A and B are shown apart, each in its own frame.
Chain A
Amino acid sequence: MPVDDLSRFKQTYFDESAELLAVAEAGLLRLAPGGVDMDEVNAIFRAVHSIKGGGGAFGFGELVAFAHEFETVMDGVRNADIPVTTGLVDTLIRANDVLAQMLSYAADGTEAPAGTTDDTVAALRRFLGKADPAPGAAAPPPEPAALLPDDEDDEAGIFGDALAAIQAARDDRPAAALPGAIPDGKVRWTIVFRPKAELLLSGNEPTYMLRALRRLGEAEIVCHLDRLPSLRDLDAELLHLSWTVTLLADAGVDRARIDDVFEFVADDCDIRISAEAPPPAVIPPAEAVSANAAPANLPEPAAPTAAPAAPPAATTSSPSGPPPGGAKPKANGNGGDHAGPTTHTIRVDLDKIDRLVNMVGEMVITQAMIAEHLRDLPPGQFQELREGLEGLAQHTRELRESVMSIRAQPVSSVFSRMPRLVRECAAATGKEVMLVTSGETTEVDKTVVENLVDPLTHMIRNSIDHGLEGPDERERIGKPRAGTVHLSAAHRSGRIVIEVTDDGRGINRAKVLSKAIEKGLVQPGASLSDEEIDHLIFLPGFSTADQVSNLSGRGVGMDVVRRNISSLGGRIGVYSAPGEGSRFVLSLPLTLAVLDGMVISVGEERFVLPLTNIVESLRPKPADLHGLVNKCDVMMARGEYVRLVHLHRLFGIPRAIDDATRGLVVLVETEDGSRLGLVVDEVLGQQQVVIKSLEANFRRLDGVAAATILGDGRVALILDVAGLREMSRHSGTTTTAPTTTSALPALQDQADQRQRQPV
């Protein structure tokens, strides 16, 4: 592989560095004077160290120099030489930001402006008890040793793949040789294979890998038993063995052949491979240096410290690479273990997954079509075909779920950004805030996760800026000085529900209302319920802060939050109690691709109702139906009045059943628990449908969430129950000016709200 190809590994490096930065930041935010968690400190150190190591491999000198400064201070913290103070944490957080900046310069291929790191470097050095000799000067490069590989580089162990590939590229010509008894035409490989303890659990078997190595040439395998626990402590399924293999192979056996052996376990082990060829592979010194210096954390040059407990093998000849002195041995709290992430992951282009999702979607449709044709077959015949198709249906469903789960990500990736935000907001407002999060592991589609960042950021800012009182005020009214913002996520009936709750003063309704009147959003004298007033904050351009603050008042209002959420097929609600706090509830679909639906017919048309919305379907008796003058029909269902919505009236569909007692009423429920009765002709059956975006192919329609293709090839619209409720309110009322109706459906809800109260 030509070295030019390395550029594509840069992207991996930047991606992974971003993850490491997040790890470091999360750790730093938890770092507090007093109870210092050494695991946390180690994790931060490893993250920075890995970024430095990878940066060295790509020759990002300035970045490496800065990371080195950062790392040195972290090392001091790790060894308890530097006490953890608030000032230190602030500086380290700033250093983390600067490191992010340096990475983004490196990613853009631009030079960082001179002096980018100066202040931070100076601040970092103050903690080392060193005066910065020239505050204005750029950070001096670290001592060469820092650029040289050491056995702890890539501490987080996550650059394995990319770096192994770089290594392979550079290894195409075997590295400079040391004299040794290697026959001509042979290469001696030294492979140090140190599996993680969990290797066996993923179904891998070292026996076969070592056997495969033995087949490549003459192998001498040394098994290291030094890490074996006692008989009492041994966990039967964890592996504590490691190996050093000395392989004398033909020159035809290249690095790739050896890598192939470990192809499936690259993430599950620490492998160091080095090669020696017989003499005349003369490499100019300069190049030799770069080959050694650049791949800073490559598996290669196994300095003696690298091999576990220096194998008692004279056969393991001294590897090529820098002299042992070049590798700076460090105190390592981890006993040399590579404490990388234990989950085994593979990076896949999102496009590929989306294609897969699409194909599975098409398959779901095809399967539905076949199932439809099957219904036409004479009953009692083709039993095997029927059974086979049932199996197919089940497998399709499982396949769909598996594919969807590939796209699913825990919301923790969003939640983890919030502590930082809270810290900043608290500092900016002088309030004391405690952030409590729960349900971080809740998984949701990647697109949804990505688009949650902005709305959540805004909502949390809003809660701190507008919701929480200052510490003194809180104390006066008998609340704890520190306010609490609770961020939670949970799955609820096929959707994800995210809540932001604060224990602040709640929404100041008088203020909201007067502001709305002042802005002409509400007519003076209009009587609005508390809930309606609360929902006014979602109106475009609405802001109650007397002074536009730095935080919430950035021209982004709650209306944008609502728009973002609804573009994801979600909804937002607010519940507030004066003096006690407010609660914002987001409800979002788990996936944007497939849903379980009930196909209904209205006239000649077919619609799909999401199964999660359906409560029951029934045919009402005439006595259950009540008409309200100038309003709408309601139905008594299970002791509760439910508003009836005639779909054919709403969508103007001819030849449909108008009389609910002759058709059917499908009782549906929205996320906020309010119910609605949809009058339809018939319920045709349950079906998995593939969601095809209406916005992408046509445009947004009220009351319609998306479209789908049914088994018979017809296009059917997927109904949006909450949207239908809003539409039905519009069609039934006459009180509010049309200009505001679309923006403020809640205003028409008053009568409706009352109807829905149980009687």
Chain B
Amino acid sequence: MSLIKWTEEDGRVRLGLPSDLDLPMAQPLLDSLRAGLAASADVTVQADQVERISAACVQALVVAARDAAERGAAFTVAAPSEVLSEACEDLGLAAWLKEWSGESRA
């Protein structure tokens, strides 16, 4: 069972994504993102473990990123795994990922 790992440090929230982010994980992921953004103005999603991802989960990340931008919170998709990068490329979101991943922000 893969779980989203929640850590909080100095008011910053870090969500460790599990390896398997298929459709049933979309709701837990969305809940975590909502909670994270509610709890902190600086949320990092650690994405190096992702080995499988559904478009629903990518969509949740996209919406969360937009929400964070709207309220001026910091949001980072840190160290996206190859699988996540590929999925984003397939979905026409390569530029989006680049914008929000650690690459261009850290």
Q: Mark A208-243, 1 if CB is under 8 A from B, else 0.
A: 101100100000011101001111101011111101
Known: A210-B90, A243-B92. A232 touches B55 (CB 8 A): no
B86's nearest neighbour on chain A, judged by CB, is A211
- Report Cα–Cα, A229/B62, bound state, in Å: 11
For A232, give the chain B residue with the smallest CB separation: B34
Closest 6 CB pairs of A and B: A221-B92, A223-B92, A231-B67, A236-B26, A236-B27, A236-B30
- Offer 23 A-B interface pairs, CB within 8 angstroms, sorted by A: A200-B54, A207-B53, A207-B58, A207-B91, A211-B90, A223-B91, A225-B62, A228-B59, A228-B66, A229-B63, A231-B33, A231-B66, A232-B34, A234-B30, A236-B60, A237-B27, A238-B56, A239-B55, A239-B56, A241-B55, A241-B62, A243-B92, A245-B92
Asked if B67 and A239 sit within 8 Å, CB to CB, the answer is no
Of all chain B residues, the one with the shortest Cβ separation from A213 is: B90
Which of A137-157 touch B at CB < 8 Å? none
Asked if residues A234 and B60 are in contact (CB atoms below 8 Å), the reply is: yes
Complex-state Cα separation, A203 to B54, whole angstroms = 10
Nearest chain A CB to B36's CB is how many angstroms away? 11
Whether A207 lies near B55 (C-beta < 8 A) is yes
Q: How far is the CA of A186 from the CA of B93 in the complex (A)?
A: 26
For A236, list chain B residues within 8 Å (CB): 26-27, 29-30, 56, 60
The answer to whether A230 and B63 touch across the interface, beta carbons within 8 angstroms, is yes
**Could you tell me which residues of chain A, from 180 to 203, have a CB within 8 Å of some CB in chain B?**
200-201, 203
A206 at the A/B interface (Cβ < 8 Å)? yes
Contacts A207-B58, A222-B92, A236-B60 known; 19 new A-B pairs at CB < 8 A: A205-B55, A207-B54, A207-B87, A210-B90, A221-B91, A221-B92, A223-B92, A225-B66, A228-B59, A231-B63, A231-B66, A231-B67, A234-B59, A237-B26, A239-B55, A239-B56, A239-B59, A240-B59, A243-B92
Q: Which residue of A lies closest to B31 (CB)?
A: A236
A210 to B93, CA, bound (A): 12
Q: Would B23 and A230 count as touching, CB distance under 8 A?
A: no
B37 interface contact, C-beta 8 A:
yes
> B64 on the interface (CB 8 Å rule)?
yes
Chain B residues with CB under 8 Å of A201's CB are: 23
Chain A interface size, under 10 / 10 to 19 / 20 to 34 / 35 or more:
20 to 34
Contacting residues, chain B, for A232 (C-beta < 8 A): 34
- Say whether B54 contacts A230, CB under 8 Å: no
Chain B residues 16 to 73 lying within 8 A of chain A, measured CB to CB, are 23, 26-27, 29-30, 33-34, 37, 53-56, 58-60, 62-64, 66-67
Q: Please give, as numbers and ranges, the residues of chain A lying within 8 Å of B87 by CB-CB distance.
A: 207
Show the binding face of A for B, using Cβ within 8 Å: 200-201, 203, 205-208, 210-211, 214, 221-223, 225, 228-232, 234, 236-241, 243, 245
**Is B63 a contact of A206 with CB atoms below 8 Å?**
no
Verify B55–A200 contact, CB threshold 8 A.
yes
Taking a contact as CB atoms under 8 Å apart, the answer to whether A241 and B59 are in contact is: yes
Say yes or no: A206-B66 contact (C-beta < 8 A), given A200-B23, A231-B37, A236-B27: no
Q: Considering the chains assembled together, what is the distance between the CA atoms of A25 and B56 in angstroms? A: 38
Q: Chain B residues with Cβ under 8 A from A230's Cβ?
A: 63, 67
Give, as a whole number of angstroms, the nearest-CB distance from A243 to chain B: 6
Are A205 and B54 closer than 8 Å at their CB atoms? yes
| Cβ contacts under 8 Å, A205 to chain B | 54-55
Contact A231 B62, beta carbon cutoff 8 Å:
no
Chain A residues in 8 Å Cβ range of B64: 231
Take A200-B56, A206-B55, A228-B59 as given contacts and tell me if A237 and B23 are in contact as well, using a CB distance cutoff of 8 Å. Answer: yes
Residue numbers in A under 8 Å from B62 (CB-CB) = 225, 228, 241
Residues of B within 8 A of A237 (CB): 23, 26-27, 56
Interface pair A223/B93, CB less than 8 Å apart: yes
Residues of A within 8 A of B60 (CB): 234, 236
Docked pose: A214 CA to B86 CA in angstroms: 12
Smallest CB gap from B24: residue in A: A237
Given known contacts A200-B56, A236-B26, A241 and B91 CB-to-CB distance under 8 angstroms: yes
CA distance A433 to B64 in the complex (A): 55
- Please indicate which of the listed interface residues A205, A206, A234 has the most CB atoms of chain B within 10 Å of its own CB: A234
Question: Which of B60, B63, B67, B92 counts the most chain A CB atoms within 10 A?
Answer: B92
Contact A207 B63, beta carbon cutoff 8 Å: no
How far is A225 from B34 in the complex, measured between Cα atoms in Å?
19
Cβ-closest chain B residue relative to A206: B55
Residues of A within 8 A of B58 (CB): 207
For A207, A222, A238, A240, the residue with the greatest tally of chain B CB atoms inside 10 Å of its CB is A207
Query: Smallest CB–CB gap between A248 and chain B, Å?
Result: 16
A191 to chain B, nearest CB (A): 12
**Whole-angstrom CA separation of A205 from B59 in the bound complex:** 12
Contacts of B67 in A (CB 8 A): 230-231
A622–chain B nearest beta-carbon distance, Å: 66
Q: How far is the CA of A222 from the CA of B92 in the complex (A)?
A: 5
Given A200-B23, A234-B63, A236-B60, the answer on whether A214 and B55 have CB atoms closer than 8 Å is no
Q: Which residues of A contact B34 (CB under 8 A)?
A: 231-232
Q: Give the residue among A200, A230, A232 with the most B Cβ atoms within 10 A.
A: A200
Nearest CB of B to A737, in Å: 72
Indicate the member of B30, B33, B55, B62 with the most A CB atoms within 10 Å.
B55
**For B26, B27, B64, which residue has the most chain A Cβ atoms within 10 angstroms?**
B26
- Complexed CA–CA distance, A229 and B34 (Å): 14
B17 CB to closest chain A CB, in angstroms? 15
For B29, the chain A residues whose CB sits under 8 A away are 236
In Å, the complex CA distance between A652 and B66 comes to: 84
A206 and B23 in contact, given A200-B55, A231-B64 (Cβ under 8 angstroms): no
